[in-house]
Amino acid sequence: MGRENNPCATVPETAPWGMATIRAIIWRGGVGAVFAVVLLPMLAVMWLSFFDQEVISFPPEGYTWAWYVNAWEKRQFARGFVNSLQLALLASAIGVTLGTAAAYALVRAKFPAKSFIGTLLLGPLAVPGVVLGTALYVFFVEFDNAFDFQIVATLPGLIAAHVLLTVPWTVRLVAASLQGIGPAAEEAAANLGARPWTVFRRVTLPMMRSGVVAGALFSFIQSFENLELTLLLVGPGRSTLPVEMLNYLEFRIDPTLAAVATIQIVIIGALMLITDRFVNLSRVVS
């Protein structure tokens, strides 16, 4: 009797480790490795901020909140935080306004050299911060010499430099949100008699709200945490929090900086969670 006609013949079981299972394991392992590379340094910094000993060593001798109290008592950190907050808010407001207008023109309008201008606006994302800061410093010095108007080591000069950091993020995110939305709704509103400003305010702006909010958030973070560019352009009495942290590191090495960095991480993480609550950031950023 053939095997196919024998009811008692055993049916071979499916191999437990198929190619689909192996690919799923490799994919999950790769994603887990990426998350580990991103999150483990932050978790390590947060862990270090609670070490009891002044000189960091492993294993820790104990845990304490004293370094957070020490950071609170250091006036330079509070002053730097306020300066960073003011600078980030001003640079983000200006950069988001300019970047939104530029992104709208790049997506909706037709004009010569549009691709070149788009590449130029995104250029600061590809330039290292030290190179950009050095170039701006030289430019500001030449501007001072040519027009006898000081802009080096001033607040307006620092704001202008940070605007260069915020505009590319806004252009990139707002343009991405506009490219997924056709102009049909805008054309319909215009055909019904709405003026151009009304069309933009009542139709276009709500449609690209997610891109504008995401651009504002990432612009704020980029400006608030910037060190390389700010270090070359900051003036007396206007040091930002990253610069004050670097100055502290020149004389002391203790978990106080880890405590300050942990507070930064918590503030930025809370901002991202709150923003994602009202705007789906993954839909815009991806």
CA distances in angstroms from 98 to 165, 167, 222, 256, 270, listed in the order given: 12, 7, 16, 38, 26
* Percent of the residues in the chain that have a pLDDT greater than 70, as a whole number: 91
- What's the pLDDT score for residue 73? 86
The residue whose two tokens read 């939104």 is 100
The average confidence (pLDDT) of the chain is: 83
81 Cβ contact list (under 8 Å, min separation 6): 241
Show the domains of the chain with their CATH numbers: 75-285 (1.10.3720.10)
d(CA 111, CA 102): 12
CB 73 within 8 A of CB 147: no
Given a contact cutoff of 8 angstroms between Cβ atoms, the answer to whether 83 and 241 are in contact is: yes
pTM, 2 dp: 0.81
**Per-residue confidence (pLDDT) for residue 207, from 0 to 100:** 83
190-230 pLDDT, tens digit each: 888 888 888 888 888 888 888 888 889 889 999 998 988 89
φ and ψ at residue 63, rounded to 5 degrees: -130, 145
Binned at pLDDT 50, 70 and 90, residue 11 comes out as very low
